[in-house]
Amino acid sequence: MNIDFVNFFNRTDRLNLDISNRCPLECPHCIRQTQYKNSNIDIPGEDLSLDSFKKITEFTNAIHFCGQLSDPIHHPMFIDFLKICFDKNIDTSIAVASSFKSLDWFVKAFKANPNANWIFGIDGLPKDSKIYRKHQDGEKLYKVMIESTKYLNVKPTWQYIVFSYNENDVTFALNLAKENNINFMIINSARWDENDKLKPSKEKSFG
């Protein structure tokens, strides 16, 4: 992982934004499911307005688009947000797990801010990621991640949460990332239920 990427995530002035309440995935440990959908409660929140976003950019030099209730790419003006960040030279990162946008849309987003750090949540080999990321097309998102290297000025990052179904594929995935000039970031989750079948073996630890 490159030093610039690490330094970005160590910034104390980095502002995390959850810009809508939209996400088509149904990851079982996400609070969308555990606190709302499983209880038939509507997902709270609304789209952040363009005017409000412009005001926010007057007070920060680093923004991380990472939803707790949403995937940022589903905000209807997200590409406009990226362009504003680029024009204002705001350090920008995006955590994305949804594959429900076309490749053409992603290319437009990459071009809107080629200096942005994109973090792609693909948990396991692309063909297996849907085991946790319900409704995600991991193979499509993996291709989008590879395509992003043609347009971005910084390496994209493959974020890999370790689960029981993918813990033996970490080395293979890491080598795939290296071959394609992509950062690789391991996440060790703590969101486990009792007797959780997704929990990796206790003997394994990944840094």
75, two tokens: 């905000």
Does residue 205 surpass a pLDDT of 90?
no
Q: Alpha-carbon distance 65 to 83, whole Å?
A: 14
State the angle between helix axes of 78-87 and 103-112 in degrees (0 to 180), rounded to the nearest 10.
20
Q: What is the pLDDT of residues 53-87, one digit of tens each?
A: 999 999 999 999 999 999 999 999 999 999 999 99
Strands 15-17 and 91-96: unpaired
Cβ contact 125:172 at 8 Å:
yes
**pTM exceeds cut of 0.75:** yes
Residues 86, 108: Cα–Cα separation, whole Å: 13
- Which tokens is 10 given? 């160590």
What average pLDDT does range 12-35 have in this prediction?
94
Confirm if 95 and 158 have CB atoms less than 8 A apart. Answer: no
In contact, 121 and 13? CB cutoff 8 Å: no
Which residue from 131, 120, 69, 65 is spatially nearest to 94, judged by alpha carbons?
A: 65
CATH architecture assigned to 3-187: Alpha-Beta Barrel (3.20)
Closest CA to 54 of 86, 81, 93: 81
Residue 180: pLDDT above 60?
yes
> What percent of the chain shows pLDDT beyond 90?
86
Q: Residue 185: its pLDDT value, please?
A: 96
Please report which confidence band the pLDDT of residue 192 belongs to, taking 50, 70 and 90 as the band edges: confident
Q: Given this model, what pLDDT does residue 14 score? A: 86
